[in-house]
Amino acid sequence: MRLTHRSLFALSTLFAAALAGCGGGGGAAAPQSQSISFAAPATQTMGAPAPTLSATSSSGLAVTLNSKTPAVCTVSGTTLTLVSAGTCTIEASQTGNASWLAAAPVAVSFTVNIAGTVVTPAKMNDLDLNAILLAAKDGDTITLPAGKYAMLGPLQISGKKNITLVGTGNGRDPTKDTILSFKGALTQNGLSTSSLDTVTFRKFAIEDASGNALFVTNSQNVVMDTVRAEWTTDPEQTSTMAYGLYPVKSDNILVTNSIVAGSRDAGVYVGQSTNIRVTNNDVYFNVAGVEIENSRNAVVEGNNVHQNTGGILVFALPGPTRFLDTRDVVVRNNTIVDNNLPPAANAQGLVLTIPPGTGAMVLASQNVEVYGNTITNHKTTGVLITSAIAAQIQFNPATKDEQGKVYDPYERGVYVHGNHVSDFGGTPGGAFADASGLGPFTQGFFAYLGSLPQPQNFPAVLWDGLVDPATGSGVNPDGSGGTYAGNLQICSKGNDITPPSGAVISYENMDLDLAAVMAGGNPRFPSPARMDCTLSLPAVTGQP
Amino acid sequence: MNKTCLTSPRPWVARALLTSTALACALWLAACGGGGGSSAPAAAPSPIQTPTPTPTPVAPTIYDASAAPSKLSAWNLASISGSTLTLNAALVPYDLNTALFSDYAFKLRAIYVPPGKAIAYTDTGTLDLPVGSALVKTFYYPKATGTDASAVPVAQKTQTAQGSSIDLTGHRLVETRILVRQADGSWAGLPYVWDDDQKDATLTPAGKYISMELVPDSGPSQKFIYAVPNAQTCQQCHASSSNGSGSTLPIGPKARNLNKTYDFGGGVVKNQLVNLDDLKLLSGFTGLAGAPVNASLLDTTQPLEMRARAYLDVNCAHCHNARGYASQSGLLLTYDNIGSASATDTWGVCKLPLAYVGTGQPGYKYDINPGSPDTSILLYRLSHVGSGQTMPVVGRQTNHAEAIAMVGDWIRQLTQASCAP
């Protein structure tokens, strides 16, 4: 007689009942074996409802389900949750009890497919790709093949939810990476997107796009992961890529593991946005490496920023419509090296306010903490802190942003600490070299240092020293002097400075006290009292 | 040859013209069959017919985007008879005081409003067309003789033609774009590209690139790629109040653009707003007194400021407005903002661009440097082509010489102080 699960179950139940009837007589009876019945679900698709799992044991005892592939699927009770495409393996187990031996575990596997479109190489042109992107449904993944493909115009996505655009890699090998080349495009911009709720760009490259390589506006939950935006040929002379990775007017932004090279403005530019994390990117050959502009709640950490004109910028500029201010930004644990590239002849606009050879620059922003960075080899200075007034940025004091605020040109609440700064300030550039700007000051300052004699260098951290008379106190009628209280102060303290050779004075900080300097006075150096302070700024939280 | 074309003319009261007219052939080619006969009899010059009885005209069929037919003929928006394309008489042709420049393409525009409904008039903003309406814009060029068989030769001329038809002997049809007000109230854009045989057009939502050669009256011609926009690109411009997505809106049909005289053919020449009102297609219109009016780019009797505001509004403001696709630039070129005295920076005066803007030239610091068109980035980008330089970014591969001259004159005479060097 062939015993089915059911008949086994029936027999064993009878047997258990008989034992119970004997009144627990010495526990002499041996536990019985049991088995598990667990059928594999059919192939699943991401985004579609997942089935409820069902597994039973011949003993009637409850079966426990566990995912062996939590990256693909998870299970809680009998509820299956699909995490990503791949093979999902679920193991059913029953550990037994006094009456039943543990059952042999049963594992089942099934495929989880992505929803969306797998694009064939034949469709890798802007006309066909735009048709695919237009037809994409909420929740879709559009998968791009390896290869280098020429685009004549921008790719566009707008007004969708939960969209993933994924290639095979962001490297430079067309046999295994996905490369979208805009070298021969008729109009500017690479990938131009708007009004997306939850979008991920992953594992592809955008090459030689004029304008913006990857532009995302008016969106939320934006992830740029393992992307490359690059002007491939002689960017200093020929690039017309304004921005590389460019989320703007958006919320909840993650830019990570990406490469941006050769833009004429900022490589990674996040503007007019909130809740931002820029981490672990390699950014070089741009005018500005990473720029957080007119934004709130941003963390810039763990990036490798090198060979740009300026490394990492935290700016508030006049002009934008959503926010006219920048506040609550942390720049930490980045490697910022050799950002001395002259801005290309065709660079334009406010980006030219960056003195070449500036590691990090904080302009007219509020509550900015710069710490734990390694900042090496910058001709002007390691960290430059300035108002828009010193930068001679003109603005209309009547123009309001969408929050009803006017532009505020002053810098407040900056704390620079615990950075490792070396090889700085030997050849100040930009306004500090301009004969009609601060060039004469620099010459005079260096002459003074030479007379001491001390090394002719700018310090590791330089503040323009301008205090807002309205929110500070004690500012002189000519604009010099004054102090901020509490968390409005500009502080730089506890940095690990490698001073220039032969220095006996501190080269950590200089408080330029610009209005005094312009009136023929002196900067506050070395060891400026106004910068000798610490801050306890509110935590910057909320990033993806 | 389809018999329909040989039947007697089918006269009816032409709605647009408020006059009786005759149509020599049935609507479009769906009815004509496109029979390929090269010796189609020319439509007889049609005397005014006595409509006894008056046949019912074939109304256009309006589709939502999801049901859009692959051929334009299925909409019954126009018909071709002999060598003339004529709008369905249920459509009202119109043009604009100053229009979007599209590489010198001529445009035959028309409005369709379903029977019994009307457009809500407003002095400001886009007129509110009822559900079931359509805006139909056919792009075409005067024919020319080119130098390269791989490029379609077209003449560089400034359109003066009005009316409700296109003479196909002298013109080549390129595309017809339909903006349809769908059942749910939303607008959708549908591009149809004219087939090579010029008998019908095919729905081309992915857009198309067409090599052309633009031949001026004198001087060298220039080759360019005419870009039929894909449906996404349509949205970038037409979602003018939601950053290039979401709600699509028509751009042209605003009172100030439509407030002009149009020659509807058949001796009917009248103001376009008045005509719509006379046709009972406009509600809430109280007459031309007080109605806004845009200047024509080319009307030298108008002040330069009015011509510049009109041109920049129609050509730039669909992106360069506070809620548009280029709002992040802070350069807002809307009709009402240009020339504002209090926020001159917001329309470009001495405004440093927030980003690199692709002039590739030293000396261009500001969007508009009053008195100095040759250092104003705005004019640079209007007067150059190439992927890194062209503005607007959609729809222009050649320079609009007449507009460049006008905008240059306008910047030259601005009274604001010139910018810091």
Q: What is the pLDDT of residue B386?
A: 82
Q: Is residue A225 part of a domain?
A: yes
Tell whether A150 lies on the interface with B, counting CB pairs under 8 A. Answer: no
| Residues A192 and A72 placed together within one structural domain of the fold | no
Chain A from 93 to 112: CB within 8 A of any B CB: none
Sketch the domain layout of chain B as residue ranges: 82-294, 301-421
Contact list in A for residue B235 (CB cut-off 8 A) is 156, 158-159
Q: Is residue A9 part of a domain?
A: no
- Interface size A-B, in CB pairs within 8 Å, comes to 172
Q: Is residue A203 part of a domain?
A: yes
Write out the DSSP string of A304-369.
EEESSSEEEEEE--S--SS-S--EEEEEES-EEE---PPPPTT--GGGGGSPSSEEEEEES-EEEE
| Residues A73 and A84 placed together within one structural domain of the fold | yes
Write out the DSSP string of B236-298.
HHH-TTTTTSSS---SS-BHHHH-SEEEEETTEEEEHHHHHHHTT-EES---STT---PPPTT
| Residues A296 and A221 placed together within one structural domain of the fold | no
| Rounded Cα distance, A473 and A155, in Å | 53
Tell whether A531 lies on the interface with B, counting CB pairs under 8 A. Answer: no
| Rounded Cα distance, B86 and B64, in Å | 23
Q: Which two tokens stand for residue A304?
A: 């490798």
**Taking phi first (over 0 means left), then psi (-120 to 50 degrees means alpha), and beta for anything else, what does residue B195 get?**
beta
Q: How many domains are contained in chain A? A: 3
- The beta-carbon neighbor of A210 closest among B342, B365, B388 is B388
| Residues A181 and A300 placed together within one structural domain of the fold | no
Q: Is residue A7 part of a domain?
A: no
* Domain-ending residue, one of A63, A78, A113: A113
CB–CB contact A347 B344 (8 Å): no
- How far away is chain B from the Cα of A410, in angstroms, using its nearest Cα? 19
- Which residues in A300-324 are b (16+ Cβ under 10 Å) and which e? bbbbebbbbbbbbbbbbbbbbbbbb
| Residues A39 and A176 placed together within one structural domain of the fold | no
* Domain-ending residue, one of A78, A113, A148: A113
- How far away is chain B from the Cα of A537, in angstroms, using its nearest Cα? 29
> pLDDT per position in chain A (544 positions), as tens?
444 444 444 444 444 444 444 444 445 578 999 999 999 999 998 878 889 999 999 999 999 999 999 999 999 999 999 988 899 999 999 999 999 999 999 999 999 988 889 999 999 999 999 999 988 999 899 999 999 999 999 999 988 999 999 999 999 999 999 999 999 898 889 999 999 999 999 999 999 999 999 999 999 999 999 999 999 998 888 888 999 999 999 999 999 999 999 998 999 999 999 999 999 999 999 999 999 999 999 999 999 999 999 999 999 999 888 999 999 999 999 999 999 998 866 676 777 789 999 999 999 999 999 999 999 999 999 999 999 999 888 888 988 999 999 999 999 999 999 999 999 999 999 999 999 889 999 999 999 999 999 999 999 999 999 999 999 999 999 999 999 999 999 999 999 999 999 999 999 999 999 999 999 899 999 999 999 999 999 999 889 9
Contact list in A for residue B186 (CB cut-off 8 A) is none
- How far away is chain B from the Cα of A189, in angstroms, using its nearest Cα? 8
Angle between helix B231-238 and helix A126-135 axes, rounded to 10 deg: 70
* Domain-ending residue, one of A113, A139, A163: A113
Q: Omega before A31 cis (within 30°)?
A: no
Q: What is the pLDDT of residue B54?
A: 52
CB–CB contact A240 B364 (8 Å): no
| Residues A413 and A473 placed together within one structural domain of the fold | yes
Contact list in A for residue B389 (CB cut-off 8 A) is 240
| Residues A494 and A370 placed together within one structural domain of the fold | yes
Sign of CA dihedral A503, A509, A512, A513: negative
**What CA–CA distances, in Å, run from A54 to A92, B52, B80, B272?**
10, 77, 66, 70
CB–CB contact B209 A127 (8 Å): yes
- The beta-carbon neighbor of A272 closest among B208, B230, B328 is B328
| Rounded Cα distance, B403 and B412, in Å | 14
Which chain B residue is nearest to residue A153, measuring alpha carbons? B387
Q: pLDDT-based confidence at B245, cuts 50/70/90?
A: low
- Give the length of chain B: 421
Contact list in B for residue A159 (CB cut-off 8 A) is 235, 245-246
Q: Is residue A323 part of a domain?
A: yes
Which chain B residue is nearest to residue A184, measuring alpha carbons? B387
CB–CB contact A218 B245 (8 Å): yes
| Residues A193 and A96 placed together within one structural domain of the fold | no
Q: Provide the 3-class DSSP secondary structure of residue B8.
A: coil
| Rounded Cα distance, A157 and A513, in Å | 49
Do A372 and A332 contact (CB within 8 A), yes or no? yes
CB–CB contact A130 B206 (8 Å): yes
Report the alpha-carbon angle B20-B25-B26, nearest 5.
95
- A281 Cβ contact partners less than 8 Å away, ≥ 6 residues apart: A255, A256, A257, A258, A259, A260, A268, A290, A303, A304
- How far away is chain A from the Cα of B247, in angstroms, using its nearest Cα? 9
Tell whether A243 lies on the interface with B, counting CB pairs under 8 A. Answer: yes
Q: Is residue A19 part of a domain?
A: no
Do A356 and A396 contact (CB within 8 A), yes or no? no
Q: Which two tokens stand for residue B270?
A: 């009248």
| Residues A278 and A245 placed together within one structural domain of the fold | no
Terminal alpha carbon distance of chain B: 71
Look up the pTM and report it: 0.80
Q: Is residue A45 part of a domain?
A: yes
CA atoms within 13 A on the CB side of A40: 14
| Residues A156 and A93 placed together within one structural domain of the fold | no
Domain containing A427 equals 272-536
Contact list in A for residue B222 (CB cut-off 8 A) is none
| Residues A187 and A327 placed together within one structural domain of the fold | no
- A529 Cβ contact partners less than 8 Å away, ≥ 6 residues apart: none
Contact list in A for residue B231 (CB cut-off 8 A) is 130-131, 134
Q: What is the pLDDT of residue A13?
A: 44
Q: What is the pLDDT of residue B22?
A: 36
| Residues A524 and A398 placed together within one structural domain of the fold | yes
Which chain B residue is nearest to residue A186, measuring alpha carbons? B387
Helices and strands per DSSP (H, E), number in chain A: 5, 40
Do A114 and A141 contact (CB within 8 A), yes or no? yes
Q: Is residue A137 part of a domain?
A: yes
